[in-house]
């Protein structure tokens, strides 16, 4: 049922993994160094906080006593020309995580600053928290964000390079506007190296057609800019403000190991090229993964009980966006070229893999291979454009019909799945999916559980193993301000 609404990737994956590990490790080491070498400055009023920040030098730690603070005045709490270093960041934190609440029209106002950490606050402002292009290496950690529910208000806007958004909770919005937007310089640039990790996005209930994304990674006019962002290990629950929980509108990003549960929104590569969507769990929602643009890899994703399509390979009204395109043209859907959809598992969803008919340009040079597709009713595959797709090695099962997948592109056998304590259905001993992949995948070294892919890959998101999974679907205890 149609749904509305790799060649370079080996290097991208290894770079992303190194960037992710280095970012967290260096930040933790730097914070530890600062706290070991610097006596914290204790403050008890907003004015004391402002003065302490204005005097802060590398390695400073400023601690605001627990309590509720009404931030008055248009200046908010300025962080201007404050320059920490990688080894000695400037840390501004609540005395206890969640212990200091900031209310008022404006909170922290950052300009021309580097290596600043904001941690442990409950932020309740009425204006956007902006990390501008003049700020680099800013880290927001373990904050609780529930801004005023103002129509059109985007809560956090990141435009500065190497920003880390880590273990925060964004929740409770019912109006138009995103929880977290990433943009960049000018009208076409993107912030580079943004890392969004272990955050909890919940309870966005905007009822409009679009505009209520938890994460919007770019805009149509910025789609050809390489952002190199890593969005990983985040949890989305009841993300019902938009069909796109993670809306990617830029290029060369990695979206991995996230969990989307009980949500309208799915993961959508709406604009841009060369992104990798890997090892995500999408459970009991409305939308799975949808893709437009070129040279993407979708691998190791596990989608179960989605009412719409588990994976949608889109169609286009534009073939390849170009820098010289008009702003209006850049808003169009770029038909997918050279997209690989492989080693994914889609279970008990409306349709496992589908295409679209509302636009006239078909996918070209795309591969759909070695996916495990099981359905309870209807059809597993509904792909109106076949001439631009190569099918191979897919394993189908269940009461659902095959749909229009070519006969040469699949086998129908019982994969012998076994449900784990986390509800995930994995391969059992003797499954015909074991060592059955039709292709090799040198850039795919692990499965959705974090187990090594060895030899010829197993079909679907799971590589058969009796070991305990390294990764599972995330729960609220795994993410947000008080998570380990």
What is the reported pTM? 0.92
For the domain spanning 9-478, the CATH number is: 2.160.20.10
CA distances from 339 to 9, 62, 230, 394 (A): 11, 48, 19, 16
Q: What does the buried/exposed string (b/e) look like for 33-50 if buried means 16 or more CB atoms within 10 Å of the residue's CB?
A: bbeeebeebebeebeebb
Task: State yes or no: pLDDT of 326 exceeds 80.
Answer: no
pLDDT value of position 329: 73
Helix (H/G/I), strand (E/B), else coil: 92:
strand
**Measured between alpha carbons, how far is 451 from 104 in angstroms, rounded to an integer?**
48
Q: Which is nearest to 155 in space by CA: 205, 196, 213? A: 213
pLDDT value of position 303: 98
Percent of the chain clearing pLDDT 70 (strictly above): 92
CA distances from 302 to 25, 32, 42, 306, 458 (A): 29, 37, 47, 11, 14
- Per-domain residue ranges for the chain? 9-478
For the chain, helix (H) and strand (E) counts, in that order, are 3, 43
Q: Which residue has the tokens 């149509």?
A: 220
Decide: 210 and 186 in contact? Cβ < 8 Å. no
Task: State yes or no: pLDDT of 7 exceeds 60.
Answer: no
Mean pLDDT (the chain, rounded): 92
Q: Which is nearest to 220 in space by CA: 177, 178, 249? A: 249
pLDDT value of position 38: 55
The arithmetic mean of pLDDT across residues 303-319, rounded, is 95
Task: State yes or no: pLDDT of 362 exceeds 90.
Answer: yes
The arithmetic mean of pLDDT across residues 169-178, rounded, is 98
Task: State yes or no: pLDDT of 432 exceeds 60.
Answer: yes
197 sits in which H/E element: strand 195-197
Q: Which is nearest to 435 in space by CA: 370, 342, 352? A: 370
Task: State yes or no: pLDDT of 410 exceeds 50.
Answer: yes
Reported confidence tier of residue 24, pLDDT bands at 50, 70, 90 = very low
pLDDT value of position 350: 97
Dump pLDDT digits (tens) for 187-198.
999 999 999 999
Dump pLDDT digits (tens) for 211-255.
999 999 999 999 999 999 999 999 999 999 999 999 999 999 999
């Amino acid at each position: 049922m149609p749904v509305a609404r790799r060649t370079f990737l080996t290097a991208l994956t290894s770079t992303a993994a190194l960037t992710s590990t280095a970012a967290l490790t260096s930040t933790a080491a730097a914070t530890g160094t600062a706290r070991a070498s610097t006596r914290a400055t204790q403050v008890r009023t907003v004015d004391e906080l402002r003065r302490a920040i204005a005097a802060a030098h590398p390695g400073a730690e400023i601690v605001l006593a627990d309590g509720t603070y009404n931030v008055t005045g248009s200046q908010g709490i300025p962080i201007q020309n404050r320059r920490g270093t990688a080894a000695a960041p400037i840390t501004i934190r609540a005395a206890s995580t969640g212990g200091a609440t900031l209310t008022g029209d404006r909170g922290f106002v950052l300009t021309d600053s580097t290596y600043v950490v904001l941690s442990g606050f409950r932020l309740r402002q009425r204006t956007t928290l902006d990390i501008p292009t003049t700020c680099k290496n800013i880290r927001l950690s373990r904050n609780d964000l529930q801004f005023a529910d103002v129509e059109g208000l985007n809560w956090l806007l990141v435009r500065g390079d190497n920003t880390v958004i880590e273990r925060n909770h964004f929740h409770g919005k019912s109006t138009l506007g995103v929880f977290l937007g990433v943009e960049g310089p000018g009208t076409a640039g993107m912030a580079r190296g943004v890392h969004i990790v272990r955050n909890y996005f919940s309870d966005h209930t905007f009822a409009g057609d679009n505009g209520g994304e938890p994460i919007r990674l770019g805009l149509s006019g910025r789609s050809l800019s390489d952002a190199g962002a890593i969005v990983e290990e985040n949890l989305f629950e009841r993300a019902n403000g938009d069909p796109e929980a993670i809306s990617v509108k830029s290029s060369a990003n990695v979206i991995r190991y996230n969990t989307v549960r009980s949500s309208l929104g799915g993961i959508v590569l709406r604009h841009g090229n060369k992104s990798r969507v890997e090892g995500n769990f999408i459970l009991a929602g409305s939308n799975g993964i949808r893709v437009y643009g070129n040279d993407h890899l979708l691998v190791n994703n596990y989608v179960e009980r989605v009412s719409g399509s588990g994976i949608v390979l889109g169609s286009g009204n534009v073939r390849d966006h170009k820098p010289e395109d008009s702003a209006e043209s850049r808003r169009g859907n770029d038909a997918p070229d050279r997209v690989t959809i492989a080693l994914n598992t889609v279970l008990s969803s409306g349709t496992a893999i589908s295409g679209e008919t509302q636009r006239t340009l078909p996918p070209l040079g795309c591969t759909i291979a070695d996916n495990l597709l099981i359905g309870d009713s209807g059809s597993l595959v509904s792909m109106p454009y076949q001439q631009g797709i190569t099918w191979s090695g897919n394993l189908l099962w269940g009461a659902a019909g095959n749909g229009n997948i070519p006969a040469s592109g699949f086998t129908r056998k019982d994969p012998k799945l076994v449900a784990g304590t986390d509800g995930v259905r994995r391969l059992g001993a003797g499954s015909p999916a074991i060592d059955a992949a039709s292709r090799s995948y040198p850039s795919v070294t692990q499965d959705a559980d974090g187990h090594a892919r060895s030899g010829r890959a197993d079909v679907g998101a799971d590589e058969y193993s009796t070991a305990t999974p390294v990764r599972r679907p995330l729960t609220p205890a795994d993410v947000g301000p008080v998570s380990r």
